[in-house]
Chain A
Amino acid sequence: MAPKKPLEFYSEALPGVDTTELQGKLIVIEGPDAVGRTTQIVRLQEWLEHRGHAVLATGLARSALARKGIQRAKQGNTLGPITMTLFYATDFADRLENEIIPALRAGFIVLTDRYIFSLIARGVARGEDRLWLERVAGFALVPHAIYYLKADVSDLVSRVVFGRGRFDYWESGMDMRFGQDMHDSFVKYQTRIIQSLDHMAKRYHFTVIDASRGPDAIFRDLQKSISKLFPPSGLRQTRTRGAAGA
C-alpha cells in the first residue's frame, strides 16, 4: 500500500467531507479481545485531558445509529457473518461521519478503541475475502498512529479466566463454532484474529506494543510514543502547565 498521510482516506473519499479542514489527531488502539485495550484508553484519556487536550473516546458498536440494532442482532441466533461485518461497517461509518470527523474538525484528539482493522480481522477469521473487506472499509481516515497491543492467545486465555472468569460467546466466535466448546473456539478464533492483525501490521504501519506485560509498562510505552505526535514546544508547554496545576 502506498504510504498515505494521516487524515487522508485510505481508498475512498467520503462524499461531502473535506479532509483539509481536519485538525485534530486520530489515535487507534487495536488488539484482540481481552488484551486490555479499554484499560489503556481510560488512562490515556485521563492523561491527555490532564495535559489540556480535548479528547473524544469512541469504539466499536457505539454509534447512535446502529448500536442497539447490533446488540439486538447478537441476542438472536440468525446473525450471519457477512451481515455482521456490514452491520459493524454501518456503525463505523456513522461514528466516523457523525462523531470522529466533527471532533477532528474541532481539533480534538480522537482515541478509538479498535478501528477498521478489527472489523477486517474478524471478517477474515470468518472466511470473508480480505480485499473485499479492505475496500468496503476504504472510506476510513488514515490515523496518526495505530497501536497494536499484541499478545499470545495463551495470554488472552489467562486474562479471560482471571478477569471475567468466563468465556464470552462472541469473543469465542461461537457463531462459527470454531471448536467444540467456548475455550477451544476462543483459542482458534483469537488465533486467527491475531494472525490477521499481524498480517496487517506492516501494510498499515502499526506500532506494535508488547501486551504480554503489565498495564503500567504498556501505558508507559503508549505515553512515550503519543508524546512524539505533538510538536515538542507545544507539548512541553502543556506539560509544564499540567505539572503546575497538579
Chain B
Amino acid sequence: MPYFQPNRFRGKLIVVEGIDGSGKSTQLSLLSQWLRSQGIAVSFSEWNSSPLVKETTRRGKKKAMFTPTSFSLIHATDFADRLETYIIPLLKAGAVVCADRYAYTAYARDVVRGVSRRWVRNLYRFAIRPNLSFYFKVPLDIALGRILGGRHALKYYEAGMDLGLSRNIEESFRLFQGRILEEYEMMSDEMGFHVIDATQSIEAQQRQMREIVMRELGDSLRDEVLHLPIGERNGSEEASRIL
C-alpha cells in the first residue's frame, strides 16, 4: 500500500472498518479487553472525535454548510489532530492503538459524496499505515436491521441527506449505506483488509480476530509493545496461557 507512512514505532495500530451496524465497534472493544488482560497498553481512537475540530464540525452540520470537499477536509483535519496529538505519541510510547474507523472510512464516504478517489487517497497520505485492518463484511439488509431498529434517530449527514438521494431520511440512509458498502468492497483487496464475515456469531468473529492478531502480530505483542510491569497485572494467568 503506497498510501500511508510506514509505522516505524514500537506500538502497533489496529483498525476496524465496515458500514454502520456491521458490529465492528463491539469486536474492537472485545479485542482490546483481551489485549489489556495480557498487560498490554491499549488506547482507543474513534472517528470524528477531535476536541480541536468538534466545534467547527458541529457548526457546519447544524447549518448544513458542508460541500463534499469541505466535509472531506474537516474530517481529515479531525483525523490529523487525533493522529498528531494522540495516535503517534502513543505509538511511539509502545501502545497498541485500536482505531474504530480510519482513513478508509473517508475513502468510502467521501467518494460516495462525490470527491474523487485519487484526491481523497492523497489527502490521507500523512496517515500511519495500520499493522492490521479488519473489514467487517455484512449484507446491507442485516446492517440496516441492526441500525433502523427504532432506538436511533438518523441525522442529516449520517443518512447522506446532503446527496439528495431521497427525501425520506430512512430511504436516503439505505441508499447511502449501500453505496458505501460498494466502495468498501471495491477497495478491500487493494487495502489488504482482513475480511471478517460479520453475519457469524459475535464469539466466532472474535475468535477469528484474535487468531489473526496472534498470527500477524504475536511476536511484536510479546516483545515489542509496552507492557504493564508483571506485578501490576490483572489476569496475567490468562495472558500467559494465550501468549
Chain A interface residues toward B at CB < 8 A:
12-16, 64-66, 68-69, 72-73, 76, 78-83, 85-87, 89-90, 93-94, 97-98, 128-129, 132, 135-136, 138-139
Known: A15-B114, A93-B70. A87 touches B77 (CB 8 A): yes
Which chain B residues border A135 with CB–CB below 8 Å?
Answer: 119, 122-123
Known: A15-B115, A76-B52. A82 touches B122 (CB 8 A): no
Tally of A-B Cβ pairs under 8 angstroms: 102
Can you give 28 A-B contacts (C-beta < 8 A)?
A: A12-B118, A12-B119, A14-B69, A16-B68, A69-B55, A69-B56, A69-B59, A78-B81, A80-B80, A81-B84, A82-B126, A83-B50, A83-B77, A83-B84, A86-B76, A86-B77, A86-B80, A89-B73, A90-B74, A93-B73, A94-B70, A97-B69, A128-B126, A129-B125, A132-B122, A136-B122, A138-B119, A139-B119
Chain B interface residues toward A at CB < 8 A:
50, 52-53, 55-56, 59-60, 65-70, 73-74, 76-77, 80-81, 83-85, 113-116, 118-119, 122-123, 125-126
CB of A65 within 8 A of CB of B123, answer no
Which chain B residues border A132 with CB–CB below 8 Å?
Answer: 122, 125-126
A interface, by DSSP: helix, strand, loop or mixed? helix
Which chain A residues border B118 with CB–CB below 8 Å?
Answer: 12
CB of B84 within 8 A of CB of A80, answer yes
CB of B83 within 8 A of CB of A16, answer no
**What is the chain B residue whose CB lies nearest that of A132?**
B125
Which of A66, A79, A138: most chain B Cβ within 10 A? Answer: A66
Give bound CA distance, A89 to B122, whole Å.
Answer: 14
**What is the chain B residue whose CB lies nearest that of A80?**
B84
CB of A83 within 8 A of CB of B73, answer no
B88 to chain A, nearest CB (A): 9
Known: A82-B126, A83-B80, A86-B76. A93 touches B52 (CB 8 A): no
**What is the chain A residue whose CB lies nearest that of B55?**
A69
A227 to chain B, nearest CB (A): 34
**What is the chain B residue whose CB lies nearest that of A15?**
B114
CB of A97 within 8 A of CB of B70, answer yes
Which chain B residues border A15 with CB–CB below 8 Å?
Answer: 67-69, 113-115
Give bound CA distance, A117 to B229, whole Å.
Answer: 50
**What is the chain B residue whose CB lies nearest that of A86?**
B77
Known: A15-B114, A65-B60. A80 touches B81 (CB 8 A): yes
Contact of B52 among A78, A81, A82 (CB under 8 A): A78
Give bound CA distance, A65 to B74, whole Å.
Answer: 10
CB of B73 within 8 A of CB of A82, answer no
A24 to chain B, nearest CB (A): 20
Which chain A residues border B74 with CB–CB below 8 Å?
Answer: 65-66, 90
Give bound CA distance, A80 to B79, whole Å.
Answer: 11
Which of A16, A73, A81: most chain B Cβ within 10 A? Answer: A73
**What is the chain B residue whose CB lies nearest that of A92?**
B73
Which chain B residues border A80 with CB–CB below 8 Å?
Answer: 80-81, 83-85
Which chain B residues border A81 with CB–CB below 8 Å?
Answer: 84
Give bound CA distance, A68 to B59, whole Å.
Answer: 10
CB of A78 within 8 A of CB of B85, answer yes
A139 to chain B, nearest CB (A): 6
Give bound CA distance, A73 to B65, whole Å.
Answer: 20
Give bound CA distance, A212 to B123, whole Å.
Answer: 37
Which chain A residues border B113 with CB–CB below 8 Å?
Answer: 15
Give bound CA distance, A202 to B69, whole Å.
Answer: 28
